[in-house]
Amino acid sequence: MIYYIFYHLIFERNGGQNAQSVFIKALNVFQYVTFRTAYATVTALLISLVFGGRVIRALREMNVGQQIREEGPQAHMAKRGTPTMGGVLIIGSVLISTLLWARLSNLYVWIVLLSTALFAVVGFLDDYAKVAKRQSLGLTGKQKLAAQFLIAIGVWATLYFFSPDYSWNLSFPFFKQTDTSMITYIGPWLYLAFIVVVLTGASNAVNLTDGLDGLAISVTFIAMVALTAFTYVSGDERWAKQLFIDHRREVGELTVFCGAMAGASLGFLWYNAPPADVFMGDVGSLAIGGAIGTIGILTKQEFILVLVGGVFVLEAISVMLQVSFFKMTKRHTGTGRRLFKMTPLHHHFEMQGWKESKVVFRFLILAILFALLSLSTLKLR
């Protein structure tokens, strides 16, 4: 919106670079995605900070409190009743900031906005069910997976019918441009299954990570900073050619969205830092995971998400290993055994005696390491 007002309506209609006014000439800066990304980040951050307190008060007045699992660490019982569903603040900040600063004629911007919003709706319904029932169980696993599956189909259908230039090739880290190779071409129908796995995996991985004060949102900030770099170089022809990565001009506008998500993450962290004043809830975690997965699909960096969100992946893998090992040992010995004291992984370290803040900071260090490794793949092609 701001782009159209200051660049198209004022700058271009008043002579552009040939305008007599210095002020008019200065508005040329609004065409640059780097400028708009910076201000999208600041806008989302300020919205989160300014309205965060009001959102928390509103959640308290509506008695929207967090329900704690009885089998969880006993130290978490003190968090019972802390306002949850604070993810509405994150998603609201991101949507408003992106609508203000992005070029709204870009199809990819609308795909990621709608995907994020729909995942937020699924999370909202899950959180609402928990609050209504006054227990830690909301929607069933099948219900959430079904909703995520439908969203994934929607993303695929939009690309299939409205984005004829989208490549149905897989893109692998450490390898040069793969968008034209027949070896990596899997076609749109196999790619549908791939998109389903990426989106459901990413959204549920972030959801599993959201268990400690400041953990999921701080790791999200690091991941979105890395994705901001990936979207920018993928959308810039000069950088894409120099780094031998798949170039799509329309992808560059997603940098604005990534910057907005990074800014909103910092703003929410102000209130979610331990001891947390508010939790993001599933409305936040599912939406963030959906956004990360959608960005990976649109930028053709699906496999690099394993590194960008390395902490999220470790958390998800720990749960899968725990469940698989328990079922296997129960089937063979009659008594299920566990690999970890408790999953997701952050709870295992809590049960080992680590303080919550130590787990968060050490996982944050891991997130930074994973992000740096992911960025290194840009040069190692």
CA distances from 254 to 56, 299, 339, 368 (A): 29, 9, 40, 22
Tokens standing for 222? 């690091």
Give the ranges where the chain is alpha helix by DSSP (H): 2-3, 22-26, 33-61, 87-101, 107-133, 141-162, 187-209, 215-235, 237-243, 254-272, 281-298, 305-308, 310-333, 345-351, 356-376
Q: Coil, helix or strand for 247? A: coil
Among 108, 90, 12, 119, residue whose Cα is nearest residue 270: 90
Give the domain ranges of the chain. Answer: 1-31, 33-304
- Spell out, as residue ranges, where the chain has pLDDT lower than 50: none
With a CB cutoff of 8 Å and minimum separation 6, the contacts of 47 are 92, 93, 96, 97, 264, 267
Among 119, 128, 122, residue whose Cα is nearest residue 62: 128
Tell if the pTM clears 0.85, that is, is over it: yes
Tens of pLDDT, residues 86-107:
999 999 999 999 999 999 999 9
CA 348/CA 260 separation, integer angstroms: 33
* DSSP collapsed to 3 states, 145-203: HHHHHHHHHHHHHHHHHHCCCCCCECCCCCCCCCCCCCCCECHHHHHHHHHHHHHHHHH
CA 251/CA 271 separation, integer angstroms: 32
Do 160 and 188 form a contact (C-beta atoms < 8 A)?
Answer: yes
Among 142, 143, 157, residue whose Cα is nearest residue 192: 157
Q: Coil, helix or strand for 337? A: coil
Question: What count of Cα atoms within 13 Å lies in the side-chain half-sphere of residue 209?
Answer: 32
DSSP letters spanning 67-105: ---TTS-GGGGGGTT-B--THHHHHHHHHHHHHHHS-TT
CA 49/CA 42 separation, integer angstroms: 11
Q: Coil, helix or strand for 65? A: strand
Tens of pLDDT, residues 239-295:
888 888 877 889 999 999 999 999 999 999 999 998 899 999 999 999 999 999 999
Residue 176's pLDDT is 66
